[in-house]
Amino acid sequence: MRLNKILILGAALSCLQANAQQDTVRYIGSTLSNVDYHHGQLSPAIGVHNMQILRANREIKDSTTGFGWTYNHAPMLTYWNNTFFVEYLSNPVGEHVAPGQSLLQTSKDGYKWSAPVIAFPPYKIPDGTKKEGDNRIAKDLTAVMHQRMGFFISAKNRLLMFAYYGIVLGPKDDPNDGNGVGRVVREIYKDGSFGPIHFIRYNHAFNEKNTSYPFFERSKDKGFVEACKEALGNTLLIQQWAEEADRNDPLVALHNDNYKAFNSYQLPDGRTVGLWKVALTSISTDKGKTWLYNPTRAPRFVNYNAKIWGQRTSDGKYVTVYNPSEFRWPLAVSVSDDGLNYKNLLLVNGEITSMRYGGNYKSYGPQYVRGLEGGAQSPDGKCWVTYSMNKEDIWVTSIPVPVKDKVENDVNDDFAQLPAASALKEWNIFSPLWAPVALEKGPDGAQALAIKDKDPFDYAKAEHVLPAAKKMTATFTVVPQQADHGNLHIEFQDAKGTPGIRMVFDSAGTLYVKAGYRNKSITTYKAGEKYEITVSLNTEARFYTVTINGKQQGGNNVFFAPLENVQRIMFRTGDVRRFPDSDTPTDQMYDLPNAGAQAKQAVYYIKSLKTKKEL
């Protein structure tokens, strides 16, 4: 008996050693996110720009809002023909509740986006359709969309766009159970127009005779047919179809209902790293035809049931972008030198917009991230990603490469003198459509950082990482365009986003600072006037002074929270958000009051920011 125990223990130890030595993606850093904060207490990757490209609004039913449908999710991104493309799926209210359609938006620069257009319209399910083992029968039913990939650029530079028509017969039914209609494809031409829709792959109950679009091989466009066949021969592309495809589809190399939302990248030695939901990973030596081991959780990666994106970056390193928690916030990036060992964890988006519209399976936070797919290359060397916020709004983000989280030099930004193309390269921005952050000419004709807000449910935010300092002075010039509505918060924070100083231009013409429980008024302000503000701070003494237009105001002030040092300055047009938190009920089935309303716009121009670290 003792000998058997020894043999069993030895086998277990050998297994553990084999797993430890297994070549795999792993996290070797020490930083972890704190889910009690939307930003996870993570330091930001410098220069990240978050841009909202679709803001759902049920009251406005035109193309700018996706025709009033408020469930918008699973965006896909590519870049081709000097244009960014985002495809996303949409339902009127909630997930897996018909009808469904897929829409497309385009942009030349990643910042200004077209209104959505319908790329794949709602599809009528034939009456009488059933699923094996389910007694429900389709009657007057339309499909819902459920695609895990959107784009493919062929060897002859043709852009294909894909979607998948799934079937939901009623509550708790699953559109990606292998029992849907099938996958459709159409070409996007260089002039931006679309080719006709064709099926490229049917599920088992469907074929040319009982579907509404022709099979792709019927097309008279030989180049289109060739591009489709090229896609069908790409094992790694087809692996992304696994969830919706027939469970015995011979084109799918790896079948398992637990392996979801696949993406991959190549290592320098030619091996392929595969990534799935829940941070599952494996490695292939033959471009996805076989895998060295069953996908297993990447050691020390934290990720729940949300997508993870991995890619090689323009500097020859690698990144993964994902939600590093059991929730769908924050959105973070991790960097690896070799594509296997990820060494840090930095913030990409730490905001959670108010969920304005409730709905089936709508999760809070920035989620379901995807980067440039289908063979696309970044036009500027940055890492571009897209994701949904709350399964409601669609966002696009640029992450500068190389990814960094520290600056060595003080800030010396006079926006009137800086080239527009590079003025915000070290600023992090969070820019909703109704609360945009951008460079523009102010009333005096000079270029400034404009921060605007007419969104009752969101805010604009711009922040700059600073050299870590216990003593410093910061001088910034603000020109508020109103004094009777809106507010602008200015915070000095540590590396984790903890503020110790907060100043506020409030909605009643007062500039105040937070002083513990209470607020302390330091001056009044007027619309259209320039306020040059200098803050001199000392984190060890926990004191700071405020000088406005050359005159000290309010005497000595105390940090409302202690900081080891200051590493960030932030400008934000709204109060701190703490909802939702980790104890918030999972499903929000209610709409917020006046969810489609718009507030009176408030505008602030930041003309300059200069800092000086003191020794």
- pLDDT score of 211 more than 80: yes
pTM of the model: 0.96
Q: What is the pLDDT of residue 68?
A: 98
pLDDT tens by residue, 60-108: 999 999 999 999 999 999 999 999 999 999 999 999 999 999 999 999 9
Contact 397/79 with Cβ under 8 angstroms?
no
- CATH C-level class of 23-399: mainly beta
> For the chain, how many helices (H) and strands (E)?
3, 40
**Mean model confidence pLDDT for the chain:** 95
Contact 147/163 with Cβ under 8 angstroms?
yes
pLDDT tens by residue, 556-600: 999 999 999 999 999 999 999 999 999 999 999 999 999 999 999
State the Cα–Cα distance between residues 524 and 554, nearest whole angstrom.
Answer: 12
Q: What is the pLDDT of residue 102?
A: 98
- pLDDT score of 223 more than 80: yes
Q: Where in the chain is the domain with CATH 2.120.10.10?
A: 23-399
Q: Where in the chain is the domain with CATH 2.60.120.200?
A: 412-614
pLDDT tens by residue, 533-542: 999 999 999 9
- CATH C-level class of 412-614: mainly beta
Q: What is the pLDDT of residue 615?
A: 86
Residue 503's alpha-carbon distances to 44, 242, 499, 543, 558, in angstroms, are 22, 52, 11, 14, 12
State the Cα–Cα distance between residues 352 and 355, nearest whole angstrom.
Answer: 8
Q: Sign (positive/negative) of CA torsion 235, 236, 242, 245?
A: negative
- pLDDT score of 477 more than 80: yes
Contact 150/84 with Cβ under 8 angstroms?
no
Which helix (H) or strand (E) covers residue 100, if one does? none
Band (pLDDT 50/70/90 cuts) for residue 320 is very high
- pLDDT score of 13 more than 70: no
State the Cα–Cα distance between residues 379 and 111, nearest whole angstrom.
Answer: 13
Contact 150/185 with Cβ under 8 angstroms?
no
Q: What is the pLDDT of residue 550?
A: 97
- pLDDT score of 16 more than 60: no
Cis peptide before 330 (omega within 30 of 0): yes
State the Cα–Cα distance between residues 291 and 265, nearest whole angstrom.
Answer: 14
The SS3 of residue 539 is coil
pLDDT tens by residue, 295-316: 999 999 999 999 999 999 999 9
Band (pLDDT 50/70/90 cuts) for residue 22 is low
pLDDT tens by residue, 517-534: 999 999 999 999 999 999
Q: Average pLDDT for residues 409-415, to the nearest whole number?
A: 98
The SS3 of residue 83 is strand
Residue 514's alpha-carbon distances to 325, 476, 517, 522, 554, in angstroms, are 31, 18, 8, 10, 12
Closest C-alpha to 256, from 218, 282, 230: 282
The SS3 of residue 225 is helix
Q: Average pLDDT for residues 40-59, to the nearest whole number?
A: 98
- pLDDT score of 239 more than 50: yes
Tokens in use for 281? 């990973």
pLDDT tens by residue, 333-375: 999 999 999 999 999 999 999 999 999 999 999 999 999 999 9
State the Cα–Cα distance between residues 250 and 339, nearest whole angstrom.
Answer: 30
C-beta neighbour count of 431 within 10 angstroms: 19
Which helix (H) or strand (E) covers residue 405, if one does? none
